Structure 1
Amino acid sequence: MTTMNLRKTVTLVDEIHTEGGQAVSPVARTAVVAAVIDNPWAGQGFVADLAPGIDAIAPQLGALLAPLVVKALGSPVEAYGKGAVVGLDGEVEHGSALIHTLKFGDHFREAASATTLLPAVEKRAAAGTVFDIPLKHITDATVRSHHQSVEVRIPDAPRADEIVIALAAAAQGRPQARLAPLKSEQ
């Protein structure tokens, strides 16, 4: 049986107090929680059937990260997203396998009272790479004010045989958002 080997979690919280020279009220808050785990498929060559690893690890990751990111945000979630960065000895598909399943994402949807699909980023990269997690509104992906991204970097991860899995949440849309609603152009 495949098990999840967790090396560490990282929590990032960003608060924007001023944007465009104007005070932001309430303060715009975004949180990210990332887990750095051993890649369960690293060193095995091409693995055709990823399902056993998905079944074993994705639910554990979702159950671990969803409550942590909601707690770190400290406010109701209005926008959310997810990401996976696979170390150089893995495949992008390894990260995708863990985050593109309801066994992972439903934990966050439930914790955030959300109904939309989680936007995602996935890539293969060396430790310390920067990745941007896209965020969308939790119940309506067409709400323009909530289209944003949060930048993440973990200096020592992923190692070549690791995967970084992250969830991001925002308590609001972009600071000082003022684009017209999508419906105004239809």
Structure 2
Amino acid sequence: MPEVKVRKKLLITEEVFHEGGPVAATPRKRGAIIAVIENPFAGRYEPEIAGFMDDLTPLGVALAGELLKALGGDAKAIDGYGKGAIVGANGELEHGALWHVPGGYAMREILGDAKAIVPSTKKVGGPGTKLDVPVTHVNASYVRSHFDAMEVGVPDGPKANEIALVLVMSCGPRIHARVGGLAAKDIKGEDGLR
């Protein structure tokens, strides 16, 4: 498989203090890291692409480590995650799907004991395309207080022959979460759902 060629990386962090209600005692942190890489399959149909996931694995682990560090470095503080990809116009949606395993397993490896599947999204688009990356609780996908999304994008990418690979992590529930459902304190941790 081809070598992974990174053109640039972006790191975005934010702290949410309130959403119109009272200021939270502890602000919610969210962060995203994006790597814009050359798409080795752009402009042609390639029947065998799955091997490129192995090549992306070291990048996934490195990005997950950088994002964790940007959010304070404590894996136990991260309780939400998601991933995504924006494929440039000369690529196909399946090229974004190559990020499922290397991006998801990288975050689960870095965080240690995460049990829930990492939610994902992908699309084809040009420079400046925005992507709403879904976020759920790292150990139980049914925890409503952690249902979220983080909008990300790259001002000058992805170019037609690139892919923007995205990881998102969060610390804490949505500010003012109050719609019921399974609470984080009640997670059983048996199946990644509840």
TM over 0.5: yes
**Alpha-carbon deviation of 1:182?**
4.6
RMSD: 1.4
- For the 8 Å contact 1:40–1:53, the answer to whether it is kept is no
Please tell me the residue identity of whatever aligns with 2:165. I
Whole-angstrom CA distance in 1 between matches of 2:156 and 2:28: 28
Q: What displacement does 1:61 show?
A: 2.2
Aligned to 1:121: 121
Residue among 56, 66, 73 paired with 2:71: 73
Residue 39 of structure 1 contacts residue 162 of structure 1 at CA under 8 Å; is this kept in 2?
yes
Amino acid at match of 2:59: L
Counterpart check, 1:173 vs 2:188: no
Q: Which has the higher strand share?
A: 1
CA offsets 1:101-148 (integer angstroms, 9 cap, x no match): 2x4422210212311110011000011011110000000000000000
Q: Aligned partners of 1:38, 1:164: CA distance in 2, in Å?
A: 9
Confirm whether residue 90 of structure 1 aligns to residue 88 of structure 2: no
> 1: distance between equivalents of 2:143 and 2:51?
37
The answer for unaligned runs of 5 or more in structure 1 is none
Taking the TM superposition and a 5 Å limit, the aligned residue runs for 1:1-186 are: 1-43=1-43, 45-56=44-55, 58-74=56-72, 75=74, 76-97=77-98, 99-101=99-101, 103-113=102-112, 114-182=114-182
Residue identity opposite 1:60 in structure 2: P
Identity %: 36
Runs of 4+ more than 3 Å apart: none
Contact kept, 8 Å, 1:81 with 1:119, in 2: the verdict is: yes
Equivalenced residues, count: 179
Amino acid corresponding to residue 108 of structure 2 in structure 1: R
Following superposition, the deviation at residue 65 of structure 1 comes to 1.0
Residue type matched to 1:82 in 2? K
Query: Which sits farther off after the overlay, 103-112 or 61-70?
Result: 103-112
